[in-house]
Amino acid sequence: SPHALWRSQNTLERQHRNLLEQFGLKLEILPDGRQRWHGCTKSTPRCFGTVHSQTPPYLLAGRWTPPCCLRALRVTARRVLAELDAAGVRHWLEGGSLLGAVRSADLIPWDYDVDVGFYRDDLAKCRWLAAVAATGRPVEDPEGFFWEKAAEGEFFRVHFSRSNRLHVDLWPFYARPGGIMTKDTWLPHGQDVEFPERFLVPLGSVDFVGVVAKAPNDPRAFLEFKFGPGAIENPEYPNPQVRRLAQDVGNK
C-alpha cells in the first residue's frame, strides 16, 4: 500500500543516515553526482567539541577536519578577509593558515581555525571590530557572522554563526621600538613569537581558499622564522606530543 511504501522508504533512509553517522561521513556523493551534506551548518553547532592541547577530538580519533567544517572555515575566512580589505585594515595570514596557503593555497586539512594578524592602529577602520571594541559585546553582521572579543585575551574572533563556532582569530599587532611586531596576548604555541616588521613592509599576497589574501612579503622566511627550517616541506600536527602526523598519514 502507499502507506507501507512510505514507511519502508523512511526506514531505509533512517538506516542509511545512521550508517553514515556511524562511520563519521559528512559528505555523500549521490549516483547522479549531486552532493548531500550530513555535517554542520550555520544553524547547528560545529562537528567537534572543545580543543585541548591544540588537538581537536577528530585528530584523537585518527581523522582530519570534517569537510563541512573546512567549508565553513573557508566561507568565514573569505568574509573576514573581504571586510578587512574593504575597510583598509592592514592584515596578513598568520601561523598555520599561512602554512596552508603556501603549501596548497588552502587550509591545512586537519586545521580547526584560521589565524589573521592585523595592525592594532587600524582596528577602528573595521566597523565590526570597532563596535565590539567600543561596547565589549558581540556583533552579528548581516550575513550572520558573529564578531566578538575572545575570552582568552586581547584578540578577536569571527564565528561562522552564533550557533556554529568555527572561527577566524584576529590578532592585533603593533610595532615596539626597534621595528619589532608584538601583541598583548600570547598563547603557549612555539610559533607565537615577536617578529621584525620588515616582513610586513610592504605586504605581499598568496592564494588562499579561493581568494588572493594579504601575507608577509617573504612567506617562506616568515614561516621559518616562526616554525623553524623546513616548516613548509615537513608538515606536522600542532602538538606532536599528543599525536603525530605519521600515525595517520598512511590512512588518508
CATH at 153: 3.30.460
Q: How many domains is the chain partitioned into structurally?
A: 2
Query: Are residues 79 and 31 both part of a single domain?
Result: no
Could you tell me the CA-to-CA distances from 46 to 24, 41, 84, 168, 199 in Å, in that order? 14, 8, 25, 14, 34
The span from the CA of 57 to the CA of 85, in Å, is 34
Instruction: Find where cell 602526523 sits.
Output: 245
Note whether 106 and 217 are within 8 A (CB): no
pLDDT tens, position by position, 170-228: 999 999 999 999 999 999 888 999 999 999 999 999 999 999 999 999 999 999 999 99
Q: 169 and 90 in one domain?
A: yes
At residue 250 the predicted structure's pLDDT band, cuts being 50, 70 and 90, is: low
pLDDT tier, 251 (very low <50, low <70, confident <90, very high otherwise): low
Q: Tell me which residue has cell 615577536.
A: 194
Report which of 140, 172, 142 is spatially closest to residue 158, judged by C-alpha positions: 140
Share of residues in the chain with pLDDT > 90 (%): 85
Q: What does the block give as the cell for 105?
A: 593555497
79 falls within a domain: yes
β-strands 113-119, 204-208 pairing = unpaired
Q: Evaluate the CA torsion angle 11, 13, 14, 19 in order and state its sign.
A: positive
Q: Are the CB atoms for 114 and 84 separated by under 8 Å?
A: no
Show Cβ contacts of residue 38 under 8 Å, excluding neighbours closer than 6 positions.
17, 20, 21, 25, 26, 27, 28, 68
Decide if 117 is inside a domain.
yes
Query: Using one digit for the tens of pLDDT, what is the confidence trace for 111-152?
Result: 999 999 999 999 999 999 999 999 999 999 999 999 999 999
Pairing verdict, β 167-176 and 113-119: parallel
Are the beta carbons of 65 and 112 closer than 8 angstroms? yes
pLDDT score for 18 = 86
Q: Is residue 168 part of a domain?
A: yes
The pTM assigned to this predicted structure is 0.90
Q: Which parts of 133-193 are beta strand (E)?
A: 139-140, 146-149, 156-159, 167-176, 180-182
Position 208 scores a pLDDT of 98
Q: How many residues does the chain have?
A: 252
Evaluate whether residue 215 is within a structural domain.
yes
My answer on whether 190 and 77 are in the same domain is: yes
The residue segments making up the domain with residue 107 are 66-231
Same domain, 88 and 150: yes
* Whether residues 6 and 70 fall in one domain: no
Amino acid at 247: Q
* One domain, residues 21 and 89: no
Question: What percentage of the chain reaches a pLDDT higher than 70?
Answer: 99
